[in-house]
Structure 1
Amino acid sequence: MTISIIGLGWLGTPLASELIHQGYRIKGSTTRQDKRELLLAKGIQTFLFELDPEVKGVLPEPLFETDILLINIPPSTRRKPADFHPKQIRQLRNFIIKYQIKKVIYVSATSVYPSENQLATETAALTPAITGNPTLLTAENLLWENKSYDLTVIRFGGLLGDDRIPGRYFSGRENVAGHPPVNYIHRKDAVRAISWILTKNLWNETYNIVCPEHPAKKELFEKNAADFGFDPPSSYENPPKQKWKKISADKWIQTGFTFEFNSPLEFSYTP
């Protein structure tokens, strides 16, 4: 079986290596020639491919001659207009239809849920007016619309672990919200989750994929600081003000998946 990964980045590259190890034929894309050469050296068939939001340069048609397309590109909402990523997804949807791709996985995020002091599940009625991330929700809806392919949408929590230590991003900062529960997933479990979807044929579903345990940000940031010797936040919100959300992973757990890291307090790092 052939799988094409659009976006061989921080998650896509180790995913490609793992799926090759499992016997899949993997193709993938990057936007940089220097990175393409590194990926080719790792044995990953890699094409230059960029959506800006239209295709830049020549379309690498072999990338879309595949059984499964995994879309793993960041929405770039801080640098691009809100409609930029949906336009990218519309382009990809056109290619899915043109090349008659049968199965699609879209990597979304739990940021689609608004922070409303709530436990968020996949049954939440999200609309452009009621979402934490209109760009991602629009992209999801574009892929679901009148589809001719099997589709699974993954809403990952914050992707961390390995060289990404959450407490480091808040070291020394003032007035940090320490009370909200975290919704994180280790990169290793994210890779394992995508493999699980393929193995178990979990299609035409949306899954929240986050650690089952949700310690408070303060607890995690203080532990990271103690473990790695950097400063914790200088101060925390007092009284706590920031609204929060806790993302339920119950639907995902019911598929039989077991986490290597049940809690972000257990994450392994390679700083």
Structure 2
Amino acid sequence: MKISIIGFGWLGKPLAEKLLAKGYQVQGSATSEDKVAKLNQDGLDTVLFNLNPHPEGLGFQSIFDTDVLIINVPPRTKSAAPTFHPEQIKYLKELAKLGNVPKIIYISATSVYPDQNQVARESDKLTKGSTGNPALFEAERILGQDKTYDLTIVRFGGLLGVDRIPGRYFSGKEQVVGDSPVNYIHRDDAVDLMIWIIEKGLWNETYNGVAPLHPKRKEVYEKNAADLGFDPPVSYQEPDKNPWKEISADKILATGFNFTMSNPLDFWYQK
């Protein structure tokens, strides 16, 4: 089976490496010539491909000659207009249809759910007015409309682990939100979840990709600081001051998927 990954980055590269180890044929893309050269040196078949939002690159048509296309293109929500990512996805969809791609996994995020003191599930009815992330909501809609391929959407929570340590981002900070539940997934589990979807044939579904346990932010930040030897936050905001959401992992668990790290308090990190 041929699998293409658009975005050999922090998540895409270890996913490619595990797929290769399992015997799949893998190709992917990076956004600069330096990254392409380094990834090819590392043994990953990589082409230059950018979406600005129109396609740019060299030889990228080959990544659409595949059995499964994984779209791992994080939206630039802080640096670009809300319309930028949906435009990227429009071009990707056309390229996928031209290449007769049969199956697509789109990596979305749990930010599509609004923060409104709720347990959020895949069955929740989202609208343009209610979503927490209009760019991702529109991208999901575009891919799901008039499709010629099987499509599964994975809404990942906070992708953490390895060198991404949540407590470090808030070390020494004041008035940090500490009372809301976290919605995290370790990178190792995120990789395994995508492989699980492919190997179990879980198509035309939407899954939340989050660890099933949701400790409070304060618990995670304090444990990170104690375990890894940096300062915890200086102070926290008053409880119940901010809206929150807890993302349900029930649907992916019902398929038989097992999380290696079901509790974000037990994530492993590089010191």
Q: Match for residue 12 of structure 1? A: 12
How high is the TM-score relative to the length of structure 2?
Answer: 0.98
Q: Match for residue 50 of structure 2? A: 50
**Separation of aligned partners in 2, 1:57 and 1:48:** 5
Map residues 56-205 of structure 1 onto 2, 5 A cutoff.
56-58=56-58, 60-205=60-205
Deviation at 1:71, TM superposition (A): 0.1
**Tell me, which stretches of 5 or more residues in structure 1 are unaligned?**
none
Q: Match for residue 235 of structure 2? A: 235
What is the letter of the counterpart of residue 261 of structure 1? M
What is the letter of the counterpart of residue 264 of structure 2? P
Q: Match for residue 225 of structure 1? A: 225
Q: Match for residue 245 of structure 1? A: 245
Provide, for residues 142-171 of structure 1, a one-character-per-residue CA deviation record: whole Å limited to 9, x for no partner: 000011100000000100000111000011
**Separation of aligned partners in 2, 1:5 and 1:86:** 18
**Separation of aligned partners in 2, 1:60 and 1:253:** 35
- In structure 2, the CA distance between the partners of 1:43 and 1:220, relative to structure 1 (3 Å rule), is same
Deviation at 1:59, TM superposition (A): 5.3
Deviation at 1:239, TM superposition (A): 4.3
Equivalent residues, number: 271
Query: Contact 1:177–1:240 at 8 Å: present in 2 too?
Result: no
**Separation of aligned partners in 2, 1:260 and 1:36:** 31
Deviation at 1:57, TM superposition (A): 4.3
Deviation at 1:56, TM superposition (A): 2.2
**Separation of aligned partners in 1, 2:251 and 2:238:** 35
Deviation at 1:67, TM superposition (A): 1.1
**Tell me, which stretches of 5 or more residues in structure 2 are unaligned?**
none
- In structure 2, the CA distance between the partners of 1:110 and 1:203, relative to structure 1 (3 Å rule), is same
**Separation of aligned partners in 1, 2:243 and 2:59:** 44
**Separation of aligned partners in 2, 1:35 and 1:108:** 23
Deviation at 1:240, TM superposition (A): 3.4
**Separation of aligned partners in 1, 2:133 and 2:48:** 28
**Separation of aligned partners in 2, 1:76 and 1:107:** 14
- In structure 2, the CA distance between the partners of 1:253 and 1:57, relative to structure 1 (3 Å rule), is closer
Is 1:34 aligned with 2:39? no
**SS at the partner of 1:220?**
helix
Q: Match for residue 266 of structure 2? A: 266
**SS at the partner of 2:50?**
coil
Indicate the RMSD between aligned Cα atoms, in angstroms: 0.9
What is the letter of the counterpart of residue 25 of structure 2? R
**SS at the partner of 2:107?**
strand
What is the letter of the counterpart of residue 107 of structure 1? I
Query: Contact 1:166–1:224 at 8 Å: present in 2 too?
Result: yes
How high is the TM-score relative to the length of structure 1?
Answer: 0.98
**Separation of aligned partners in 2, 1:56 and 1:46:** 14
**SS at the partner of 2:69?**
strand
**SS at the partner of 2:105?**
strand
Query: Contact 2:48–2:57 at 8 Å: present in 1 too?
Result: no
**Separation of aligned partners in 1, 2:173 and 2:33:** 37
Q: Match for residue 207 of structure 1? A: 207
**Separation of aligned partners in 2, 1:232 and 1:240:** 21
Deviation at 1:43, TM superposition (A): 1.3
Identity of aligned residues (%): 55
Provide, for residues 223-257 of structure 1, a one-character-per-residue CA deviation record: whole Å limited to 9, x for no partner: 11111111111110124301100000000100100
**Separation of aligned partners in 2, 1:38 and 1:61:** 20
What is the letter of the counterpart of residue 126 of structure 1? L
Regions of 4+ moved over 4 Å: none
